[in-house]
Copies of this chain bind each other. A is one copy, B any other.
Amino acid sequence: MNNQLSSWTDGAVKSTILDFVARVTDEGGPDFVPPAERIATFDNDGTLWCEQPLQVQFFFGRERLRIAAEKDPTLKEQQPFKAFFDHDMETIRNLGKEGLMEVAAFAHAGMTEDAFAKIARDWLAVARHPTLGCLFKELTYLPQMELLDFLQTHEFKIFIVTGGGIDLIRTLAAEVYGIPPERVVGSSVRTRFEIREGRGQLVKLAVINTFDDRQVKPQNIGLHIGRRPILAFGNSDGDLAMLRYVQTGPGPRLALLLHHDDAAREFAYDREFELSPLAEALDKADDYGLTVVSMKRDWRSVFADRLALAEAIAASKR
């Protein structure tokens, strides 16, 4: 079998995935699912790429705040912005993911979608992880890239369902995963349509439209996709509602939960990561029918450029 998840360790989890895909694509079989219904939803941060020490949105938002402060230096003295300038991680973590999203919404208010797209593209082209040194876009997990490929080869439609800002992740997804913008569902701000200098523009407002986490994930799947996926992959309690929504549907189902238990090659964390804890989903995985993927046990490689990153990760912990 060529290119069948070669970065996945042979074992129960890999067999479960291969068996599931074989069953739903077996045209004569009892579990056959027509291609149009082969919807798979993936969380992004911590599922498709590294989210430590914080999700990429944080670093993007901080950069935007830095630029905003060039025009209005008083931002540096106002909370919650002050915390970003002071690297006051405790205050930042206490904001929670939704609080971070509000800061991001503030930082982009008044910007057109065209301007935002350019800024996001330019930033992702050069932005580097603060401790690992590599570009953020190099932090994707090799086994997951293989899985996306494998599913697409078998006519699955992949959607990313992320707590991250929808427009930032769309920029990333198109370039890094080859997933088009309309297949990214995420947190969003409200926009206003206006004609500026003869051109119709969507202008971002400082108002959260949706914070795409926990029960909002299945709600947004309903709104954007309009069909219950048959496969989902997440890594935190923020994904649990989506995983259960997928797992409890009729017919064949696969709900996968990535456990970051690999301190040597990546990071080991679950319930103590306040911004995106993994506790209930892990504790009740059996009850809920979730397949737990152990990074340590089930992945032969973690990153594509694994030697360089392994060294950087080791160095970052010294």
Contacts and interface: CB of A to CB of B under 8 A. Distances in A.
Interface stretch (A1-9, A56-64, A218-226): A218-226
Contact of A248 (B157, B191, B198, B225): B198
A97 interface: no
B167 A200 contact: no
Max chain B C-beta neighbours (<10 A), residue from A157, A159, A180: A180
Interface string A164-176: 0011001000000
Contacts of A246: 200
A159 B167 CA distance: 19
A113 to B, nearest CB: 6
A24 interface: no
Contact of A226 (B167, B226, B241): B167
Given A188-B223, A200-B248, A224-B182, A193 B209 contact: no
A76 interface: no
Given A199-B248, A218-B193, A181 B241 contact: no
A184 B224 contact: no
Given A199-B248, A199-B249, A244-B195, A113 B181 contact: no
Nearest to A226: B181
A245 interface: yes
B241 A215 contact: no
A202 B36 CA distance: 21
Interface residues of A, number: 39
B218 A202 contact: yes
Given A241-B200, A248-B198, A193 B215 contact: yes
Nearest to A217: B193
A227 interface: yes
A226 B218 CA distance: 20
Interface in A45-95: none
A114 to B, nearest CB: 8
A173 to B, nearest CB: 10
A120 B224 CA distance: 18
Nearest to A170: B226
A192 B223 CA distance: 12
Interface string A193-232: 1010011101000000100000100110011111100000
A279 to B, nearest CB: 18
A230 to B, nearest CB: 13
B226 A202 contact: no
Nearest to A247: B200
Contacts of A166: 223, 226
A166 B225 CA distance: 11
18 contacts: A36-B180, A167-B226, A180-B227, A181-B225, A182-B182, A182-B183, A182-B225, A188-B223, A191-B219, A192-B219, A193-B215, A198-B248, A200-B241, A200-B247, A202-B219, A202-B222, A209-B223, A224-B224
Which 5 A/B pairs are nearest by Cβ-Cβ distance?
A181-B226, A200-B245, A193-B215, A199-B248, A202-B222
